[in-house]
Chains A and B, each alone.
Chain A
Amino acid sequence: MTLLADRPVRTPAPAAPRCRKRPILPYLLIAPTVLATAYLLLYPLIRNVIISLQEFGLPQLVRGDAEFVGLANYAEVLADAEFWGVVRRTLWFTALNVVLIMVLSTLVSLLLIRLGKWLRLLVMGGLVLTWATPIIAATTVFQWLFQSRLGVVNWALTALGFEQYRDYTWFADGEATFGILVTLIVWQSIPFAALSLYAAMITVPQELYEAARIDGAGAWRVFSTITFPMLKAMFGLITCLEVIWVVKAFVQIWVISQGGPGQATTTLPVYAFQVAQSLQRYDLGAAVSMLMVVLLVLALTAYFRQLYRQEREV
């Protein structure tokens, strides 16, 4: 009875029910997404922040009685010279990779534009094949390519007269391993960047190029005065994406070298994982990964800015 009596009071206008029924649907439709994101993404992120503010080692993991220690973990990480070494290495690793990726991808995309149909399809097919190669398959193959005794790279270098590479153990040397990882990541990243840049370049009106050529502009001048300025947003977008991908590259490094030999290939994500996994200092690992997130957020902000600019231009 009370229910019935309440009803007219709670529905404001007779026309309302039809309008009110509609707006609920979208929220029901997104509810699963929102719930999943809250539990599987937001909660782990918050949990990471919490762990980084606690004393959280193996005993706490087992007993579940971690205590808050404020910013002590961050202080410990930031006071550690090793951490700053890792940060420097990560920045150097990222800069080297991204510059190589962008320069080589630009060259490949400029090449693609100038190729005839069949050669272009051939090169694009090759790029797609590289793109399709799973990271783990690629790491396994690279280990085989650079194998000391039977590896084809050592064979080729020796055949070319570099006698010092006979049975050379690449993975025992820090700089050599670093170089292999850069090669691997650049090799894997070029297809996406080159094909995206190529797709953007074919949108530049041909008349502009023709006009420039009539004016006697060389290839570099055409690129620096027409192609690059017109596709600045696209270049920015891809650079940001590559920065993000390289900074968080974990699997390649972990599988090939686990950050070694020594610390030669330990970048931030590898370091965070090492600290947590091998030292079982989950608190410090969480703190390091939060610092990495901060670094990535900076890159991400730049990315979203570019994305916004790009959307406006299109």
Chain B
Amino acid sequence: MSRVARTVAALVVFVISVFPVYWMVLTAFKPTRDIQSATPTFLPMNITFEHFGTAIAAKGFFSFWRNSLLVAGGAVLLALGVALLAAFAVARLQWKGRRAFVLMVFIAQMTPWEALLIPIYVIARDTGMLDTLWMLTLVYFMITLPFTIVTLRGFLAAIPVDLEEAAQVDGCSRGQAFRKVVFPLLAPGLLATSLFGFITAWNEFAFANVLIIKNQDDRTLPVWLSSFNNTFGTDWGATMAASTLFMLPVLLIFLVLQGRVTTGIVGGAVKG
């Protein structure tokens, strides 16, 4: 393939990848008359924040935002705590049944959650957890838990045991060695893992759609956004503004994670 052909192919791939998101953001900033014009404009000519105003002023926007934040944040913190214990056991200790446990985690990671919508709905209903954010938090916790264990185990395994042992030789207890030596090194890994878990929970739709029915104020952003037809009708500017606002945290997280995941893990510890 010639150089020119490669460049053209690269640009085509780039445009196809980026266009839908570009179009979303562009529409969100376009004045309504530009959105409705017969010939679309492909560059930001006139910019307006009107649609963002409409989206934010929509009934319940802030409570949906808060609900999403609470559910995703709660699930991730819970998963992080539980996973850290398990990851430590798997990466640092020798015990019978370890392989079986790891296999269980791998299998749990592949759970087809879509097949469990019905029983979880029934269980939530039976236990009076329907229409509560608690139930959603628990489900998201379980969805993110296996992945969190697997990644944390990877990060932990990347930290040389020697460091811990050296600390113990210097008079630290095992707990102190973990807290003072391993934990600071693990922090970037914890951050990366929790942010990925956060994205998963933040984006989840199917369970939020099934478990929050009557109490519409308890809905999360994805469910609200999916029903934009009821909220905004044919106001595509506002719909795209709401989508953009929904995507913003995810995008920020991806930007934060750029580089932070890989650098800093052992970088400072075992140099020279």
Interface SS of chain A = helix
**B115, A289: Cβ atoms closer than 8 Å:** yes
Name the interface residues of B134-163: CB closer than 8 Å to any CB of A.
138-139, 141-142, 145, 149
Q: Is A111 in contact with B21, judged by CB distance below 8 angstroms?
A: no
A-B contact count (CB 8 A): 225
Q: Is the CB of B13 within 8 A of A108?
A: yes
In Å, the complex CA distance between A144 and B93 comes to 53
A304 nearest CB neighbor, chain B only: B106
A291 to B86, CA, bound (A): 32
Contact code string B171-206 (vs A, CB < 8 Å = 1, else 0): 000000000000000000000000000010011011
B10 A115 Cβ-Cβ under 8 A: yes
Which single member of A36, A114, A136, A144 contacts B236 (CB below 8 Å)? A144
B247 interfacial by beta-carbon distance below 8 Å: yes
The chain B residues found within 8 Å of chain A, CB to CB, are: 1, 6-7, 9-10, 13-18, 20-21, 23-24, 27, 35-36, 38-40, 81-83, 85-86, 88-90, 93, 95-96, 98, 101, 104-108, 110-112, 114-123, 125-126, 138-139, 141-142, 145, 149, 199, 202-203, 205-206, 209-210, 222, 225-226, 228, 236, 239-240, 243-244, 246-247, 250-251, 254
Interface residues, chain A, with chain B CB atoms under 8 Å away? 23, 25-27, 29-30, 32-34, 36-37, 40-41, 43-45, 47-48, 51, 56, 61, 64, 108, 111, 114-115, 119-120, 122-123, 125-130, 132-142, 144-145, 147, 150, 152, 155, 187, 190-191, 219, 244, 248, 250-251, 254-255, 269, 272-273, 276-277, 282, 285-286, 289-290, 292-293, 296, 300, 303-304
Rank and list the top 8 A-B pairs by shortest CB-CB distance, nearest first: A126-B17, A29-B89, A40-B142, A26-B95, A47-B119, A289-B115, A48-B119, A134-B203
30 contacts between A and B (CB under 8 A): A23-B95, A26-B93, A30-B86, A30-B89, A33-B105, A36-B145, A40-B138, A41-B108, A48-B118, A51-B122, A111-B9, A119-B7, A123-B17, A130-B21, A133-B21, A135-B222, A136-B226, A137-B244, A137-B247, A138-B20, A140-B226, A140-B243, A145-B20, A190-B17, A255-B205, A255-B226, A269-B114, A276-B121, A289-B114, A289-B117
